[in-house]
Structure 1
Amino acid sequence: MTSAPHAFVDIDELLLAVRELSVTARWEQAARLLGAAATDDPAARARITRAAAEVALDRDWFAGTDTAAERLEAAEKEFPDGDWDTGFLRLRHTYGRLLLVDGTLRIGPDGKDPQALAALLDRARELHDSAPDEVRRGWAAMYRGLITENHFAERATAAGHYTAALRAGEAGADGLLAREALRHLGDHDHDAGDGERAGERWRRATALGARAGTVPGTLSQQLLLAVLARDAGDEAGAVALATEIVRWAGAIGADRLAAQADAFLAGADPTAPGPTDAD
């Protein structure tokens, strides 16, 4: 009986393929590919374990699942002396977990543990200061903004962090980071009544997301374009776009996003500060 043949793949290429699968919402396929990667190299094994945690985090955010905790703990065991990227994954996980109050996404500090929020913001500052490169520093700045805005309701301070994240994303050619920053800066423009500036930023963010391959991220951006259509009085256009977002999001398993688009069809404003304005 002969054993199955082994295929050798460069670890960097493997992880790049996994990341591309994950941003396109192929979370199951990404997880299976990582699970099929066998290695005797401890460093490669650690990176594969960390990548599995990142895939789970991406899935949890858009699909509303809860799959990342165990994988993140496994990744932390692979880096007992600490690791910036694993620490950032933990920050993301804690950020999302603290948004839930009695099972509902909630903006602001009400109903949340103030010590946990302070520790989260401190950790974001530490990751920002210790980032090994400009793009990672930009992602830490992005989460400093998200934490400041969505957990502390300090929007003016958050805008400065988003601006720093945008600069880093543009300088480092990280379309996903630039998209994320433009999304939230555009939200601030929209709330200030500057629909034209919001539209410029949101349309650019949509294009950047599409170029980077993020299917759920592009759909979430299109929901903001539906908001602009409704603002302009084009209700038929807004409904048509949101209906397709529900269809697409449901098809890829992005159930949280589908629910947001459903709520928009029922009259909700996803840009209005409130319990579900978390992305």
Structure 2
Amino acid sequence: MTPATNAFVDLDELLRSVRELSVAGRWERAARLLAAAAVDEPAARARITRAAAEVALDRDWFAGTDTAAEPIDAAEKEFPDGDWDTDFLRLRHTYGRLLLVDGTLRIGPDGKDPEELAALLDRAEGLQDSAPDEVRRGWAAMYRGLITENHFADQATAAMHYAAALRAGEDGSDGLLAREALRHLGSLDHDAGDDERAGERWRRATALGARAGTVPGTLSQQLLLAVLARGAGDEAGARALGAEIVRWAGAVGADRLAAQAAAFLAGADPTAPGPAEAA
């Protein structure tokens, strides 16, 4: 048995390390690190609780698990007077939850409660207006775009929100935000038949994701590049890349992504309107 050791670790440094682990797809390690942090001070405990909710939400998105509801509830209790970052976690969770209709991911408003969708969009706008800095304002804009596109099927308006998110990511040097915006702007280009522009954006998004350390995010970008290879007639290249994505995603526990890549190998188009487009 390894003896317990008391050691001082700066909380900001701890939370940065946890965030990097989560972005890299090391969700269990990130959660264990947070669980091992013994703190008594209420403000520190609240930040750790919020970080645990973010790790759970990241894992749910890529692994297809359903673990974030309880941690987000716990985080909200730690901030009874409200907290922008916790409110944003709730927005992200609700956005993903409402994509499910009868257990199936569905793009567009069909089968969804219009009042609930309107409230979600209003909440995203409120978070954008109240954001404490430009980067977080950009993330709120990003989700306004996602909600507008994937719940309301309004690509033109979504593109404006994605462009705002891209500007914020570039101005604030947030590679993950810029990557997310480029990913979805590229998808709109692809839908419009402009694969050259889509490829430019998707390749840049892939590089930004890799630089930021997002293993599952980079793999999801490579799946889009495999789509372009297939569309250009390079089926062998597309299948080779798809097979590696299945292998890598399975190895890091990104089971939802692995399933999407396996479906691609079987002939599915992950950019077609339907479940895979929301990822």
Q: Which category describes the TM-score, using the shorter chain as reference length?
A: over 0.9
**Partner of 1:96 in structure 2?**
96
**Alignment partners' CA distance in 1, 2:66 and 2:197:** 36
Task: Give the distance between the partners of 2:226 and 2:5, measured in 1 at CA.
Answer: 51
CA positional deviation for 1:260? 0.5
Query: How many residue pairs get matched?
Result: 277
Query: Using the alignment, how far apart are the partners of 1:224 and 1:18 within structure 2?
Result: 28
Which residue is 1:166 aligned to?
Answer: 166
* Corresponding residue for residue 256 of structure 2: 256
Give how far 1:5 is off: 3.4
Q: Distance in 1 between matches of 2:60 and 2:4?
A: 34
Alpha-carbon separation, structure 2, partners of 1:229 and 1:88:
36
TM-aligned CA distance change 1:4 to 1:232, over 3 Å? closer
User: Take 1:213 and 1:264, find their aligned partners in 2: how far apart are those partners?
Assistant: 24
Aligned residue type for 1:69? A
Find the counterpart in structure 1 of residue 235 from structure 2: 235
Given residue 103 of structure 1, which amino acid in structure 2 is its aligned partner? G
- Residue matched to 1:146: 146
Tell me the equivalent position of 1:48. 48
Task: Write the letter of the residue equivalent to 1:10.
Answer: D
How many Å separate the matches in 2 of 1:68 and 1:195? Answer: 36
Identity of aligned residues (%): 86
TM superposition shift of 1:277 = 1.8
SS of the aligned residue for 2:239 comes to helix
Q: 1-side partners of 2:274 and 2:57: how far apart?
A: 23
Alpha-carbon distance in structure 2 between the residues aligned to 1:13 and 1:181 = 27
* Structure-1 separation of matches of 2:4 and 2:235: 58
Q: 1:141–1:161: 8 Å Cα contact kept in structure 2?
A: yes
Measure, in 2, the Cα distance between the counterparts of 1:202 and 1:146. Answer: 17
Aligned partners of 1:188, 1:176: CA distance in 2, in Å?
19
Matched, 1:184 2:184: yes
Aligned equivalent of 2:267: 267
- The amino acid that maps onto 2:91 is L
Paired residue secondary structure (1:25): coil
| 1:175-218: CA deviation from partner (whole Å, max 9, x where unpaired) | 00000000000011111111111000000000000000000000
The separation in 1 between residues aligned to 2:275 and 2:201, in whole angstroms, is 24
Cα distance in 2 between the residues matched to 1:41 and 1:74: 16
CA distance in 1: counterparts of 2:172 and 2:244, whole angstroms:
33
Task: Write the distance in 1 (CA, Å) between the matches of 2:130 and 2:246.
Answer: 40
Q: What does the per-residue CA deviation read over 1:155-185, in whole Å, with 9 as the maximum and x for residues that have no partner?
A: 1000000000000000000000000000000
Q: Distance in 2 between matches of 1:212 and 1:276?
A: 23
Counterpart-to-counterpart distance in 1, 2:137 and 2:213: 22
- For 1:107, what is the secondary structure of its paired residue? coil
For 1:10-159, what aligned pairs fall within 5 Å after superposition? 10-159=10-159
User: Could you tell me how far apart the structure 1 residues matched to 2:258 and 2:33 are?
Assistant: 26
Letter in 2 for 1:41: E
CA distance in 2 between counterparts of 1:171 and 1:39 reads 35
Code of the aligned partner of 2:209: G
Give the superposed CA RMSD: 0.8
In the superposition, the TM-score normalised over structure 1's length comes to 0.98
Q: By how many angstroms is 1:68 displaced?
A: 0.4
> Displacement of 1:275 after TM fit?
3.6
* Cα contact 1:19–1:55 (8 A) shared by 2: yes
Residues 242 and 265, structure 1, Cα contact 8 Å, conserved in 2: yes
Rounded to whole Å, the distance in 2 between the matches of 1:94 and 1:233 is: 39
Contact 1:95/1:120 (8 A) holds in 2: yes
SS in structure 2 of the partner of residue 276 of structure 1: helix
* Aligned counterparts of 2:200 and 2:268: Cα–Cα separation in 1: 22
Gaps of 5+ in 2: none
Residue 41 of structure 1, CA deviation: 1.1
> 1:75 corresponds to which letter in structure 2?
A
SS of the residue corresponding to residue 66 of structure 2 reads coil
**Aligned equivalents of 1:96, 1:259: Cα separation in 2:** 18
**By how many angstroms is 1:112 displaced?**
0.6
Higher alpha-carbon deviation: 170-179 or 269-278 = 269-278
Structure-2-length-normalised TM-score: 0.98
Partner secondary structure for residue 112 of structure 1: coil
